[in-house]
Structure 1
Amino acid sequence: MGNNEETLTPPSGDGAGPVARAAALRDVLRQGAEEADREGRLPEKTVLGLTEAGLMRLMTPRRLGGYQGDARTLLEVAIEVGRGCCAAGWITGVVNAGNFVVSLFPERTREEVWSDNPDARTALVLGRPVTTVENTAGGIVVDGRWGYASGCLHADWMGGLVLADDGSGRPAPHFALMPMGELTVEDDWRFTGMRGTGSNTVVADRVFVPRHRLLPYLPVLHGETDGLVDPGHAYRNSLTGIFSIGLIGSLVGGADEAFRHVRERAPHRPVAGSSYDSQAASPAFQADLAQAAAKIETARLLALSVTDRIDAHAAAGKNPDLVTRARARMESTHVTQLCREAVDILMTAYGSSAFAESSPLQRIWRDVNVGSRHAGFGMGIPQQVYGSALVGRDPRDISLLV
């Protein structure tokens, strides 16, 4: 999918690459994280910072003002953003995945989305379509609901699944791309963590979707994108691979931020009920810190290996086999588990004050615990998918998200 960090030209032309720009935003993101958690949406200052840094157009085609970037850059940006705010990192990942899907639509659609606004953002939902579709001249009319629509409060466009005629008279799943201005958002995101993602339900009430804003879902899901995109923007993996990259990046960044917070304060915090004048002097604390550090670094390295494998297939022009794709889902899931385990260790090591509402640790703990239980990572399905592939069965019999 494009090039690496060193060869990407920032759209605003200040000479810094997107990962460096994301790192430079960390203080702004930290300042807005509490408000995001309280209000159920990112603060405008956070959204403006991410947008002005070009971090919402990592996957937008270069000729339309984007980076046309690779999977590793998306991951590293999401990690940096997640260090400042897990919810912001999550939305950055989802929006860029949404923009990547838009880049696969016909040229007319791409022009419609980005010609006047290179920073246009697309929310994307991969859940089952709950819609009614009526065929009409030039397209379809949709009544539908799409839940868990992360980023919908900050998006210009929404990509949701519908069942539409595939040209043979049979219904098949398609992405329907709709302007957010023609949709309504039900404020129903009431979760313990990842509150700032504003992952509400989006509703369409007889919204017309022209034919050029419909894209067959299964070819995109399976990485069969030959001929759909510009040269140099080839993508060789299932959509599940690219979709999960930003999500796991957010969690790695959040876990690393929790580690930084605990480590920096250790020399100045006594160990209650002991003779140690600081946590840093306690062998038990040192052991906990080492264990958490190892889990976070393992998660980061494993996440990077997933992205590098995706980028290597793209560079070679080869689609990975089902075992490789199933492995990516399993390894992404393992990344989330390692992050959750590391944060749990850090909360215990820090002490009960980690759970004070004034502590950023409790927000990170909630965000990582909720984010790591996303449907793409949970309920034992990734393990079944990978195990099925390893014994020569088709893992898509268990889940299409491979």
Structure 2
Amino acid sequence: MSESPRLHTAGTTLLERARDLRPLIEREAGAAEAQGMLTTPVVDALHEAGLFGVWVPEPLGGAESSPRELLDVFAELSYADPSTGWVVMATTLENGTAGAYLGDDAVERIFTGPRMPLIAGQGTRPGVAVPENGGFRLSGRWSFASGMLHSQYAHSLGAIEGTGEERIFITPIEDVKPLGNWDVLGLRATGSIDYAIEGAFVPASQSHVFDLNEPLRGGAIYRLGLLDQALICHTGWALGVGRRLLDELSRHAGARAGRPGQIAGSDAFHADFARAEAGFRAAAALVRETWDDVERTLDSGRTLDVRQETMVRLALNHITSTLAGVARFVYASGGTSTLRDGLVQRLFRDVHAGTQHITSGPQVLRECGRELAGLAQGQSWVIFTLED
């Protein structure tokens, strides 16, 4: 357990470094999409900037950023390229929570060397873990392992045979059988393949209970637990990609100002753009308000109550659905120029891949509405549902 209940803050250094990398990330985005994973220059630059340590506990040499700081970093990287933002948010979530929750022996094995480890995998649809002396034998098959092609370790959900207890298991990438098949509409550069593990031995110290919310090292952010921390990832991603789409449409319209028949001279477009900006800014404001409240709670040493758990889910759901609407508006407003291969087309495809994620699905929205309407008295959040 952390020695201090207070929330650690890292400052703006990593955000500034992320912003400085934007030209490189933008130049490499096309090549990354073509090869199905980020390019070596981008991965190297992210390491050199310390961005893969943005979530790692400070005692392990990481930045241990606060939720608001993480939102800003992920938004900045996702603005430059949605796939880059996605890889960084996914791997840093998993190396951050590994650093906070794994046993000392595991941390000594994993968090060594000149670079932060990259951990990628899947926390749904558990495999089976059979207890064995000093650990478990893990087997299973998982889908959509965000950033797997960049990782040195896998993060996989497994259910203990005999008890059903769900735990996260961290295994070396050598124990992973990649299944490929990243044949998707968007986010093609994330290397988010399916994979299998067949009877790999996992020492007990390289696993932790899925819903653990008391860290062995690090501060108050890790009291959110794995699921609520994952919501930070997808929220920051949506903030960055939505902002980029609206900025690109503004540039597109401005470049055509003065030409007959262009959207720059359309009153209807002006009004629609204003509505899109207002809607996106309002959704972003809800995100900021919600996570400001979370930070105050964490800094006071408390954990989130049910209403706060509802609001972090609702804020993500709302910014994600708003982003989907922004993407449709920008794509339609761009006319035939967005139909062709290019930045806006790629952003449109990436959005419609990212919005399929389970964290912002319709079930979550329904449950949020039920709690907000006072129809879930005495119930608590268990992943994406409210239960007694």
TM-score normalised over the length of structure 1: 0.87
CA contact (8 A) 1:237 1:310 kept: no
Identical amino acids, percent of aligned pairs: 24
Give the aligned residue type for 2:351. Answer: V
CA contact (8 A) 1:189 1:199 kept: yes
Matches within 5 A, 1:1-400: 2-6=7-11, 17-102=13-98, 103-129=100-126, 131-164=127-160, 170-218=163-211, 220=212, 224-225=213-214, 228-230=215-217, 232-269=219-256, 275-276=260-261, 278-357=262-341, 359-378=342-361, 380-390=362-372, 391-393=375-377, 394=379, 396=381, 399=384
**Deviation at 1:310?**
2.6
| Residues in 1 aligned to 2:22 and 2:67: alpha-carbon distance in whole angstroms | 21
Q: 1:195 to 1:234 in 2, by over 3 A?
A: closer
2:3 aligned residue: none
1:316-349 C-alpha deviation (Å, 9 max, x unpaired): 1111112221221122110101111112112222
Q: 1:319 to 1:247 in 2, by over 3 A?
A: same
| Residues in 2 aligned to 1:146 and 1:77: alpha-carbon distance in whole angstroms | 28
| Residues in 2 aligned to 1:91 and 1:44: alpha-carbon distance in whole angstroms | 13
Q: 1:99 to 1:307 in 2, by over 3 A?
A: farther
Computed over aligned residues only, the root mean square deviation of the Cα atoms, in angstroms, reads 2.3
| Residues in 2 aligned to 1:174 and 1:338: alpha-carbon distance in whole angstroms | 34
- SS of equivalent to 1:127: strand
**Deviation at 1:82?**
0.6
**Deviation at 1:400?**
5.2
| Residues in 1 aligned to 2:50 and 2:383: alpha-carbon distance in whole angstroms | 38
**Deviation at 1:52?**
1.3
- SS of equivalent to 2:130: strand
| Residues in 1 aligned to 2:174 and 2:288: alpha-carbon distance in whole angstroms | 37
Q: 1:293 to 1:114 in 2, by over 3 A?
A: same
1:351-397 C-alpha deviation (Å, 9 max, x unpaired): 2211211x21011011112211211111x211222133332342547
The worse-fitting range, judged by mean Cα deviation, of 298-307 and 229-238 is: 229-238
| Residues in 1 aligned to 2:264 and 2:152: alpha-carbon distance in whole angstroms | 48
CA contact (8 A) 1:236 1:320 kept: no
Q: 1:199 to 1:288 in 2, by over 3 A?
A: same
1:198-254 C-alpha deviation (Å, 9 max, x unpaired): 211121122110111121113x2xxx31xx333634533343221021222222212
CA contact (8 A) 2:167 2:210 kept: yes
CA contact (8 A) 1:236 1:313 kept: no
CA contact (8 A) 1:150 1:199 kept: yes
Q: 1:397 to 1:236 in 2, by over 3 A?
A: closer
| Residues in 1 aligned to 2:302 and 2:265: alpha-carbon distance in whole angstroms | 53
**Deviation at 1:136?**
2.0
CA contact (8 A) 2:144 2:193 kept: yes
1:9 aligned residue: none
Give the aligned residue type for 1:399. Answer: F
TM-score normalised over the length of structure 2: 0.90
| Residues in 2 aligned to 1:68 and 1:39: alpha-carbon distance in whole angstroms | 32
1:255-280 C-alpha deviation (Å, 9 max, x unpaired): 211222221232322698xx44x533
| Residues in 2 aligned to 1:3 and 1:134: alpha-carbon distance in whole angstroms | 37
| Residues in 2 aligned to 1:271 and 1:338: alpha-carbon distance in whole angstroms | 30
- SS of equivalent to 1:235: helix
**Deviation at 1:57?**
0.9
Q: 1:72 to 1:209 in 2, by over 3 A?
A: same
Give the aligned residue type for 2:158. Answer: V
- SS of equivalent to 2:223: coil
**Deviation at 1:117?**
4.2
The worse-fitting range, judged by mean Cα deviation, of 389-398 and 319-328 is: 389-398
